[in-house]
Structure 1
Amino acid sequence: MTSLNLTFTGAEVLLPEEGLVPADLSVADGFIQADYAGRQVDLSGYLVLPGIIDLHGDGFERHIAPRRGAMKQMDEGILSVEAELAANGITTAVLAQFHSWEGGVRGPEFAGQVFEAIALVKDRVVTDMMPQLRFETHMLDDYAGLPERIADWQVPYVVFNDHLPHDRLAERRKPPRLTGQALKAGRNPDKHFEMLLSMHDRGGEVPEALDALCAVLATQGVRMGSHDDATAQDRAVWRARGARIAEFPETLAAAEAARAAGDHVILGSPNVVRGGSHKGNVSALDLITMGYCDALASDYHYPSPRRAALMLAKTGLLDMAGAWALVSSGPARVLGLQNRGTLAPGQRADLVILDADTQRVAATLAGGRVSYMSGDIAARFLG
């Protein structure tokens, strides 16, 4: 696939050492070049920034199943996901797919279909889309074959969740919205409740099963993380299993424990944009202020990484370089992607071009290829 050979002039460019400065930037053969390459494109009035690397997002669900049973061609859904990613400046995206007792679009069977579709369209898309499995820890009957399925699905990143409503189940009370949840999964509500109770009652078996599962996944080279750590002890337990990524810690104590041990802390960019957690958890802004954040993720809203980084810079909480690093070089380090995240020579030509006045995305390039372009900037590229 052919990439552009161009030199961008006249723009402000976010460079690794200098920060956001007027500079020329050359791309050729899919990489940032040290020397001038190809014809010049005047980008006066624009900002050129490293492409956004989204560590965790499930906003793709509405594309692959806009209504229950409505999406028959899964690969077409993934292609429409790429369109939204690119329009929001995202050049590398981790698609976080549930493997959950919730069933439906979050059930094990559907997960397999999603991962197969991601693999199927890999050579037809510009954006680098990586699958992530979000595994519900109390699905004990699924443990035995999971490592083999993860290998077959080519999933490099697994995060562990526990969304069972334990408080209600301990009291043998039905959780809110149980009937609707059961019907979405195609289950009788009473049978669904019985299943939840059974998983809750077997909770004592989960820690040992997780220890064994994580040990196997570690030998397969799978990157692992935990989701919604509530305490420092939670983080310590997951760290001992080899899960060195803490996604969306719920408390200051959990985030502090992660940082103290050198674990990666991922926060939700919608939390930043909103000014707080919609669930009442610790504020991402507070954690960023204290230096307890390695990267921001879209979580459920793809426009939020760009908006969060720009907001952090505008308010002065971080300078532009520090704010944008949370959605570019920071995520690259978490994922071990050494070939992207900055606009340094030799790096992949992953970049997003913003209108300097509106700060809206004008164009996105991944590997030196255009994944998105809109409005007047097209005339600049066409010359």
Structure 2
Amino acid sequence: MTALSLTLTGAEVLLPDQGMTRADLPIAEGIVQEDRAGRTIDLSGYLVMPGIIDLHGDGFERHIAPRRGAMKQMGEGILSVEAELAANGITTAVLAQFLSWEGGVRGPEFAGQVFDAIASVKDRVVTDLLPQLRFETHMLAEYPSLPERITDWQVPYVVFNDHLPHDRLAEGRKPPRLTGQALKAGRNPDAHFEMLLSMHARRDDVPAALDTLCTALAEQGVRMGSHDDATAQTRADWRARGAQIAEFPETLEAAEAARAAGDHVILGSPNVVRGGSHKGNVSALDLITMGLCDALASDYHYPSPRRAALMLAKSGLLDLAMAWALVSSGPARVLGLQDRGTLAPGQRADMVILDARSHRVAATLAGGRVSFMSGDIAARFVG
């Protein structure tokens, strides 16, 4: 696929250190250029923004397993994921795949299939797809082989979760929805409950196992983060292991601790759009107001990063440049992607073109190649 050689003119463009300004934007060889390039495309009536970098999203699960056992060609599911990403202005997407005791689409075997599928379509997609492993920390049997598997899966980013219902397990009570969860995983409900109790019983073995695992992953150059930190001590523990990304901290205390230590704080854009956490955790809007946010992620809903950035700007909480940075240059810094996140010359030609009045996505380009285009804008490119 060949990158376009064009000069986009007439649009309002979000440029670093300039904000929204009417400017020409030349692109060639997949890069934003200094000088005019190729033919001119009139984009009057549109806004050109840096492409959205989504650094944590699991909304792809419904594409790769719409029904139990229904998706056999998983690569086709990943291709349909890319179509949705591009339609929402996302040019770089981290696909967050579980390796969890929950089994089913989150089980170890399925995880390997997902990572293999991502690798298999890499040369057929325009959007840059990056795999992330979400590992449930109490699966002690998985630890010995995990570093090698992460290398084989080409996973550059691991996040640690603990979703065991410890309070109920400590009382010997079955958690809600256990039967449905067990059947989805292909287990007898009683056997599933016994497995949860066993993992809970070995909880004191987990910290030392994590220390060893994180040391190995750090030596492999794997980026690491924690998920749903609730206390400053929890964040400090993860930082000591080299996990310097705090995904979706549940409390102000945890977010403040992360920021004070120089860790990255990622918040969920659906939290912003809906005006609060669906689980009753600290509000993303409150944390953004206090300057405790480096980046917004789609979490489970791909339209939300664009909507959240625009809502933040419309509300006056941030100006448009600062709000959009939370879904572009901010995520690029968190992921160490120095070649993208802004529309400065020399950067990747990753951009989303919005209708100036409706703010709907009209087109998305990743590396100077069209990944999505819809409506009247197509005539300007084709005609």
TM range (shorter): over 0.9
Which deviates more from structure 2 when the two are superposed, residues 302-311 or residues 15-24? 15-24
| 1:146 corresponding residue in structure 2 | 146
Matches within 5 A, 1:138-287: 138-287=138-287
Helix, strand or coil for the counterpart of 1:175?
Answer: coil
| 1:325 corresponding residue in structure 2 | 325
Aligned mates of 1:90, 1:249 — CA distance in 2 = 24
Helix, strand or coil for the counterpart of 2:121?
Answer: helix
Aligned mates of 1:275, 1:57 — CA distance in 2 = 19
Instruction: Report percent identity of matched pairs.
Output: 86
Helix, strand or coil for the counterpart of 2:362?
Answer: strand
| 1:67 corresponding residue in structure 2 | 67
| 2:377 corresponding residue in structure 1 | 377
Q: CA deviation at 1:22?
A: 0.8
Q: CA deviation at 1:375?
A: 0.3
Structure 1 gap segments, 5+ residues each: none
Matches within 5 A, 1:308-347: 308-347=308-347
Aligned mates of 2:93, 2:163 — CA distance in 1 = 24
Structure 2 gap segments, 5+ residues each: none
Q: CA deviation at 1:238?
A: 0.1
TM-score, with normalisation over the residues of structure 1? 1.00
Cα RMSD of the aligned pairs, angstroms, is: 0.3
Aligned mates of 2:155, 2:170 — CA distance in 1 = 34
Q: Describe the superposition over 1:350-377 as per-residue Cα deviations: whole angstroms up to 9, x where unpaired.
A: 0000000000000000000000000000
| 2:112 corresponding residue in structure 1 | 112
Amino acid at match of 1:181: Q
Helix, strand or coil for the counterpart of 1:56?
Answer: strand
| 1:356 corresponding residue in structure 2 | 356
Aligned mates of 2:22, 2:9 — CA distance in 1 = 8
Q: Does 1:96 align with 2:62?
A: no
Q: Structure 1 stretches (4+) deviating beyond 3 angstroms?
A: none
Amino acid at match of 1:162: D
| 1:79 corresponding residue in structure 2 | 79
Amino acid at match of 1:106: R
Aligned mates of 1:161, 1:15 — CA distance in 2 = 37
Q: CA deviation at 1:327?
A: 0.1
Aligned mates of 1:108, 1:130 — CA distance in 2 = 18
| 1:296 corresponding residue in structure 2 | 296
Q: CA deviation at 1:17?
A: 1.2
Aligned mates of 1:66, 1:334 — CA distance in 2 = 31
| 2:367 corresponding residue in structure 1 | 367
Q: Does 1:19 align with 2:19?
A: yes
Amino acid at match of 1:263: D
Helix, strand or coil for the counterpart of 1:210?
Answer: helix
Amino acid at match of 1:267: L
Aligned mates of 1:116, 1:217 — CA distance in 2 = 20
Q: CA deviation at 1:298?
A: 0.1
| 1:305 corresponding residue in structure 2 | 305
